[in-house]
Structures are given as C-alpha cells and as structure tokens.
Amino acid sequence: MRIECPFCGERDHSEFAYFGDAACARPAPGAADAQARFVEAVYLRENPAGAHRELWYHEFGCRSWLQVTRDTRTHEILEVRLARESTAP
C-alpha cells in the first residue's frame, strides 16, 4: 500500500504505524456513564468490510497522525487527511 502523506508525499505503508479505527473518539471523562462509554470507545469496533476510517502514524517520516479512509476488502486508499484537521464524530 502507498499512503499519500500530506507533508511527505506518497510513501510505502511500511513507514507508518497503524492505530486502528479513527471513529473511536475519547468520550467525555466526566459523564455519569463515562466508564461504559470508555469501554465502548476502547474495545468495541465496527470492523467494517469496506470503507474504514483509520489512523496511521507516519513514524518513520514526519510523525504526523493521518486519518486514512481505506477499503478493507481491497486495501484501496480512498482519502488521506491530517488527523488533527479531521473533525471527530
């Protein structure tokens, strides 16, 4: 796979570390049901067969965290953006 890093250009995926589903935002820690929400965020996964928004870390490059949309059936990369510029759901 080749990932188009917004800073470094297209690079082989071996430069990146994978961090899983990008949709798992950190819940509000103060909520009454915070523990249940954290359990969901940390452990439960949609794990789709198809487009998957996921985090990749350009560890052997610019150390940016990227949000990559990729088809898990074909490995085709559909979109890459900086994680910090992606609005968390």
Under rule CB under 8 A, residue 89 binds another protein: no
d(CA 26, CA 6): 25
CB of 83 to another protein, least distance (A): 5
DSSP 86: S
Applying the rule CB under 8 A, the residues between 2 and 41 that interact with another protein are 2, 12-14, 17-22, 26, 29-30, 34-36, 38-40
- β-strand pairing of 77-82 with 65-71: antiparallel
Nearest to 85 by CA among 6, 26, 29: 6
**List of residues contacting another protein (CB under 8 A):** 1-2, 12-14, 17-22, 26, 29-30, 34-36, 38-40, 42-49, 52, 54-55, 57, 59, 63-65, 70, 72-77, 82-85
